[in-house]
């Protein structure tokens, strides 16, 4: 009997009895042994031995009929793995590992690698984290090592590798970057990630309980950007919580976000019924708790729980154990945030958004992280708040909504300059034309927006409308192409309309100078990167706006024929010539470089895909790799590691 019990309690599923029938058969064998050969006890005898009186089958049936499964019924059953208890007071209330971890010694270089262990800095559900350094680069890194008691578990090993792949696959500035992966001689695996010198949001909440809305909004926006980038790659985090959000110092600003621990991240293609639930019960979405699968909206729910906790000082659901917490996630409505003692001062608009994210039905939640961030921006606009992070890129919502946000969002990082182009005539409604100028601040390129407002202008309405179209094309970086939908084309239209009323367009002249300046600075940056032939394409584009500029003509290295072709008269600006395949490849390569150096990595990757079609031999791609590598080395040498890594 003891051996049977030990088998049933084995930590290895394969070592346990296969099913209840096998247990019943084993118990029957034991009973026959106890009573002697050939003796098979009846059910009634077993019940009588337990209850002190004989009970026949009829009585057992009557007992079964009297049992009400609805009264005191057990909660739903889950197959639960890797569930972590919410930390309180800085100490975990979850079960301790059955096997003690074997720490790596300080000062030890891991055999077969270039990493030296400096100290142990933490321990998670699957492994330990060490502060380490690359012995050649003298660069600090964080090394995560799988726990020894699960190192032989193929499933956990695969999960651990998945964490490394998931984090490295996303490539977002808001996600902790994974740079290497390896295995020790004893079979344990590790991966190397960037060292984050900061504290977790979980630690902040354990120290101060809650954060105010002006601080919470930019943190939530950055987390939404991180998760949105993961969702675009088909990855759902599945363990969004404050302990997995690191807050760092970025220059003079605090609360720069890095999301960590993709250890249980799943692929969105795997949206069938879940056999396992992994994560922290307080942040698990109802559909996951019911075993109904998941998608990116499960992360929306978890982010809502985290926002609720940040603003109200408490999670919506926290039961006595894992199962009770999961049951509450499925069945109980959350207490409105503003009814929590710590949430009384939360602005109503923000509280309403958080409660919407906590909807039991995924369809009732915001349907993407971009929508979540857009709604957070709307809340900030409604509250009239400014934050140190108002220069964050606007969310990737639809163009109409994005333009509305751009007009209304506060942005101390965007200086405004008003240019009055005359008084009298038709008083138009304020027409905002955003001109993008670029200036260099080594070792990075910073794009600065100067806002030009054309108010009470003497421009004819048709001229103003054409200038607005030119601005919209320039915002999409359509300076000269496509020919019929470019800034150059619409400036030509504005000038033609101005000629009809007999006066030149001051707005068109201003835009010509502005766009020529922006393209020239891009060209200068390409020259510094030793990509002169790509720079020439930008100088030639700038010349289309200012064809008589002698400096641009010299930089563009124009031939005599090109000089003649680019001359324009006062009425008909010279159109952009049709590009050759070689020209298109150069222009696309320039786009890759500019987007990458300006931090627009998604756009750079898309342009790179186009470049592969235009330049199948990979000549331009190889030159870009050299240029970006050189830029990265220069940034690294100057101590700007955060600029170097994405390059």
Residues in contact with 343: Cβ distance below 8 Å, sequence separation at least 6, in sequence order: 308, 311, 312, 313, 337, 351
Cβ-contact 543, 527 below 8 angstroms = no
Active-site position among 177, 239, 299, 390: 239
239 catalytic per annotation: yes
Rounded to the nearest 5 degrees, what angle is found at the Cα of 502, between the Cα atoms of 498 and 507?
Answer: 35
Q: Which tokens is 400 given? A: 């109409």
Q: Are strands 198-200 and 245-250 parallel, antiparallel or unpaired?
A: antiparallel
Q: Classify each residue of 271-297 as buried b or exposed e, where b means 16 or more C-beta atoms within 10 Å of its C-beta.
A: beebeebbbbbbbbbbbbbbeeebbbb
**What residues form DSSP beta bridges with 133?**
116, 140
The burial of 611, by beta-carbon neighbours within 10 Å (0-12 exposed, 13-18 middle, 19 or more buried), is given as: buried
Cβ-contact 110, 117 below 8 angstroms = yes
Among residues 199, 203, 249, which one has the least CA distance to residue 388? 249
How are the residues of the chain apportioned to helix, strand and coil, as percentages rounded to the nearest 5? 45, 15, 40
The burial of 232, by beta-carbon neighbours within 10 Å (0-12 exposed, 13-18 middle, 19 or more buried), is given as: middle
- Angle between the 619-637 and 581-597 helix axes, to the nearest 10 degrees? 20
DSSP helix/strand/coil, 604: helix
How far apart (Å, rounded) are the C-alpha atoms in residues 302 and 283?
5
For the four alpha carbons of 138, 144, 145 and 151, in that order, the dihedral sign comes to: negative
How far apart (Å, rounded) are the C-alpha atoms in residues 220 and 243?
14
Q: Which tokens is 379 given? A: 């809340």
How far apart (Å, rounded) are the C-alpha atoms in residues 148 and 100?
8
How far apart (Å, rounded) are the C-alpha atoms in residues 406 and 378?
11
How far apart (Å, rounded) are the C-alpha atoms in residues 139 and 194?
9
Cα dihedral 275, 278, 280, 282, rounded to 10, equals -20
Cβ-contact 214, 173 below 8 angstroms = no
Alpha carbon separation from 545 to 485, 491, 518 (Å, rounded): 15, 9, 11
Residues in contact with 615: Cβ distance below 8 Å, sequence separation at least 6, in sequence order: 585, 588, 589, 621
**What residues form DSSP beta bridges with 436?**
449
Residues in contact with 403: Cβ distance below 8 Å, sequence separation at least 6, in sequence order: none
**Backbone φ and ψ of 341, nearest 5°:** -55, -40
Positions marked active-site: 239
């Amino acid at each position: 009997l003891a051996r049977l019990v030990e088998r049933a309690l084995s930590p290895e599923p394969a070592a346990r009895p296969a099913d209840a029938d096998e247990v019943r058969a084993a118990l029957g064998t034991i009973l026959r042994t106890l009573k002697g050969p050939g003796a098979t006890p009846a059910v009634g005898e077993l019940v009588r031995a337990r209850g002190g009186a004989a009970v026949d089958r009829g009585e057992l049936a009557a007992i079964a009929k009297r049992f009400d499964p609805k009264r005191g019924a057990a909660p739903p059953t889950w197959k639960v793995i890797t569930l972590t208890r919410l930390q309180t007071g800085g100490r975990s209330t979850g079960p301790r590992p059955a096997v003690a971890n074997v720490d790596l010694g300080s000062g030890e270089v891991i055999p077969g690698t270039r990493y030296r262990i400096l100290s142990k800095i933490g321990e998670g559900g699957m492994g330990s984290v060490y502060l380490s350094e690359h012995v050649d680069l003298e660069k600090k890194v964080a090394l995560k090592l799988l726990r020894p008691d699960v190192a032989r578990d193929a499933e956990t090993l695969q999960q651990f590798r998945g964490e490394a792949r998931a984090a490295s696959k996303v490539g977002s500035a808001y996600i902790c970057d994974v740079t290497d992966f390896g295995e020790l001689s004893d079979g344990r695996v590790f991966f190397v990630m960037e060292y984050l010198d900061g504290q977790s949001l979980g630690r902040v909440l354990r120290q101060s309980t809650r954060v105010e809305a002006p601080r919470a909004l930019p943190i939530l926006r950055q987390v939404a950007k991180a998760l949105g980038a993961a969702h675009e790659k088909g990855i759902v985090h599945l363990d969004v919580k404050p302990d997995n959000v690191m807050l760092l110092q970025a220059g003079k600003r605090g609360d720069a976000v890095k999301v960590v621990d993709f250890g249980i991240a799943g692929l969105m293609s795997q949206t069938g019924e879940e056999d396992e639930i992994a994560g922290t019960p307080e942040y698990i979405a109802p559909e996951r708790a019911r075993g109904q699968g998941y998608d990116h909206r499960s992360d929306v729910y978890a982010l809502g729980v985290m926002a609720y906790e940040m603003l109200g000082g408490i999670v919506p659901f926290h039961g006595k154990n894992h199962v009770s917490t999961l049951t509450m996630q499925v069945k109980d409505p959350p207490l409105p945030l503003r009814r929590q003692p710590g949430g009384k001062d939360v602005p109503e608009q923000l509280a309403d958004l958080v409660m919407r994210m906590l909807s039991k039905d995924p369809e009732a939640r915001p349907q993407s992280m971009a929508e979540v961030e857009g709604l957070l921006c709307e809340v900030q606009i409604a509250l009239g708040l400014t934050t140190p992070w108002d220069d964050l890129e606007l969310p990737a919502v639809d163009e109409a909504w994005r333009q509305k946000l751009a007009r209304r969002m506060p942005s101390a990082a965007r200086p405004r300059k008003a240019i009055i182009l005359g008084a009298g005539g038709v008083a138009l409604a304020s027409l905002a034309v955003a001109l993008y100028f670029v200036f260099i601040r080594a070792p990075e390129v910073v794009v600065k927006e100067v806002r030009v407002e054309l108010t009470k202008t003497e421009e004819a309405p048709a001229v103003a409308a054409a200038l607005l179209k030119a601005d919209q094309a320039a915002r999409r970086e359509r300076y000269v192409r496509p020919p019929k939908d470019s800034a150059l084309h619409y400036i030509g239209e504005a000038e033609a309309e101005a000629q009809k009323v007999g006066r030149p367009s001051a707005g068109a002249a201003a835009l010509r100078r502005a766009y020529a300046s922006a393209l020239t600075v891009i060209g200068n940056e390409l020259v510094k990167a030793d990509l002169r032939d790509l720079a020439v394409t930008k100088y030639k584009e700038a010349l289309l706006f200012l064809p008589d500029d002698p400096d641009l003509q010299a930089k563009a290295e124009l031939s005599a024929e090109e000089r003649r072709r680019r001359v324009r008269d006062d009425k008909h600006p010279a159109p952009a010539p049709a590009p050759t395949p070689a020209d298109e490849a150069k222009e696309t390569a320039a786009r890759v470089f500019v987007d990458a150096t300006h931090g627009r990595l998604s756009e750079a990757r898309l342009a790179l895909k186009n470049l592969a079609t235009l330049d199948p031999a990979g000549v331009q791609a190889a030159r870009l790799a050299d240029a970006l590598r050189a830029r990265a080395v220069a940034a690294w040498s100057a101590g700007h590691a955060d600029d170097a890594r994405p390059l």
